Chains A and B, each alone.
Chain A
């Protein structure tokens, strides 16, 4: 008899758990009434990072806050949602988020699936090297170097196919894994967008240890991703971005988040209508 009670309890628990998760699934469609959901990165210092006290910090986060405020949502009304690189289009298409501010470069392939407001930031693919390393001055130097990037990223493919086909490329799950290797001299350089690299180099634990090589290997225009065809929202966000640049907030934020690494940022890009 005891056994039957246990199995009944187990079955009830399963049903409960399933309905609980199921409820969480459908209710949210980006913004309902006075709340707004925004997709950001959770693990990129300088751009979008979940800090130990549970708050969020970074350039993308502050841009998102500014835009949300212009749209009429105070900071307290924002629900942050993790938007890993591979999930960004899905999040937008499913309406899980209103818009995505997550080091999201505008390119042809993505434009087929989503629309972009902005760009709000221009950066280039670059290298992060140890501060005392002067052996990499041009792209060709990479052919004899050990290089690290994140599995499946466009930066990794760029290197493999165009920039330095002979480079020994290691692909790992995340940038901080590469950073451990860079610190310990298991790899010579870490490649991705300069803004991301600058974010790591600016962290207080890393200041003085790494530097950017300053090679502009590609142009990456960061945009704010939103649902295809939502020109109303796109217009509003573009207006907010223009205001952010003209009132000096943009300069202030760039200095605050990328300054300590000595990263020379490009001027604010012109918003494409």
Chain B
């Protein structure tokens, strides 16, 4: 039943390694981009607020498939952005990270915004009374508390991101979903085994994230 796995024809671990890398790089990228977006959305400059709001509302309402495929067509095929990749395999991977970051950043932004809303107004008011500027209020007082309050929603975003990496299959990144598609076509008789393997793989990837971050959320919660 499992003999097709021994043939060496399918690089299962390799595919899941690509999935994990996609998730990791996109997670870092979207955390940075999401923080920048939320800073824009609460900033005193009206134009930045407008841009942040417009970006979040536009990108959040676009299917991820469209975002990722648009990265491939628009950036690579038309504008010839290669992001320093040498061949299509590398370029595909980097474009996928870019697309996932652009999309997931909006959800990180929303999670952080809900985190900011949990910080009592008195905190920011006290900081301002001490003479802090907007940047200081945000980076020294509000965001550190907001991050701790936002761990649970951020964990959910991370889990969703891990699952969303499968969309990169649409632009040919050699990750798990693409391999599963190939295996379903070639090993039709072992359909349930194939699905079981990939389901297990994703559970292994997502379950610890939820547990660890759930524990962290409890530990780090701001006691009030």
Check whether chain A touches chain B (CB < 8 angstroms): yes
Interface residues of A (CB under 8 A from B): 86, 146, 151-152, 168-173, 177, 180-181, 184-187
**Contact assessment for B88 and A170 in the assembled complex, using a CB-CB cutoff below 8 Å:** yes
Contact A180 to B77, CB < 8 A, known contacts A151-B172, A170-B172, A172-B172: yes
**Contact assessment for A177 and B87 in the assembled complex, using a CB-CB cutoff below 8 Å:** no
| Min CB gap A179→B, angstroms | 10
The chain B residue sitting closest to A184, CB to CB, is B78
Task: Kindly name the residue among A169, A170, A173, A180 whose own CB sees the greatest number of chain B CB atoms within 10 A.
Answer: A170
B160-193: contact bitstring with A at CB < 8 Å (1 yes, 0 no)? 0000000000111000000000100100000000
**Contact assessment for A184 and B88 in the assembled complex, using a CB-CB cutoff below 8 Å:** no
**Contact assessment for A186 and B76 in the assembled complex, using a CB-CB cutoff below 8 Å:** yes
Q: In the complex, which residues of chain B have a beta carbon less than 8 angstroms from the beta carbon of A169? A: 88
Looking at the complex, which one of A86, A152, A180 makes contact with B78 (CB distance below 8 Å)?
A: A180
Q: In the complex, which residues of chain B have a beta carbon less than 8 angstroms from the beta carbon of A187? A: 77
Q: In the complex, which residues of chain A have a beta carbon less than 8 angstroms from the beta carbon of B171? A: 172
For the complex, what is the distance from the CA of A186 to the CA of B88, rounded to whole Å? 10
- A-B pairs, top 3 by smallest CB distance, nearest first, are A181-B77, A170-B88, A186-B77
For the complex, what is the distance from the CA of A168 to the CA of B87, rounded to whole Å? 6
Q: In the complex, which residues of chain A have a beta carbon less than 8 angstroms from the beta carbon of B215? A: none
For the complex, what is the distance from the CA of A180 to the CA of B76, rounded to whole Å? 10
B80 contacts A by Cβ under 8 Å: yes
Interface residues on B, range: 10 to 19
**Contact assessment for B88 and A180 in the assembled complex, using a CB-CB cutoff below 8 Å:** no
The chain B residue sitting closest to A178, CB to CB, is B77
The chain B residue sitting closest to A180, CB to CB, is B77
B17 contacts A by Cβ under 8 Å: no
| Min CB gap A157→B, angstroms | 12
For the complex, what is the distance from the CA of A168 to the CA of B88, rounded to whole Å? 7
| Min CB gap B87→A, angstroms | 5
The chain A residue sitting closest to B80, CB to CB, is A186
Looking at the complex, which one of A171, A173, A177 makes contact with B77 (CB distance below 8 Å)?
A: A177
The chain B residue sitting closest to A168, CB to CB, is B87
For the complex, what is the distance from the CA of A35 to the CA of B182, rounded to whole Å? 37
- Jot down 10 A-B pairs with beta carbons below 8 A, ordered by A: A151-B172, A172-B72, A173-B170, A177-B77, A180-B73, A180-B78, A181-B76, A181-B77, A185-B80, A186-B80
Q: In the complex, which residues of chain A have a beta carbon less than 8 angstroms from the beta carbon of B78? A: 180, 184, 186
Could you list 8 further interchain pairs (A-B, Cβ under 8 angstroms) beyond the known A170-B92, A180-B78? A151-B172, A170-B88, A170-B172, A171-B172, A172-B172, A173-B170, A177-B73, A187-B77
Q: In the complex, which residues of chain B have a beta carbon less than 8 angstroms from the beta carbon of A170? A: 88, 92, 172
| Min CB gap A37→B, angstroms | 26
**Contact assessment for A184 and B172 in the assembled complex, using a CB-CB cutoff below 8 Å:** no
List residues of B (34-82) whose CB comes within 8 Å of A's CBs: 72-73, 76-78, 80
For the complex, what is the distance from the CA of A152 to the CA of B178, rounded to whole Å? 11
The chain A residue sitting closest to B75, CB to CB, is A186
Q: In the complex, which residues of chain B have a beta carbon less than 8 angstroms from the beta carbon of A171? A: 172
| Min CB gap A249→B, angstroms | 38
Q: In the complex, which residues of chain B have a beta carbon less than 8 angstroms from the beta carbon of A151? A: 172
Q: In the complex, which residues of chain A have a beta carbon less than 8 angstroms from the beta carbon of B185? A: 86, 152
| Min CB gap A149→B, angstroms | 11
| Min CB gap A120→B, angstroms | 28
The chain A residue sitting closest to B87, CB to CB, is A168
| Min CB gap B85→A, angstroms | 11
**Contact assessment for A184 and B170 in the assembled complex, using a CB-CB cutoff below 8 Å:** no
| Min CB gap B25→A, angstroms | 21
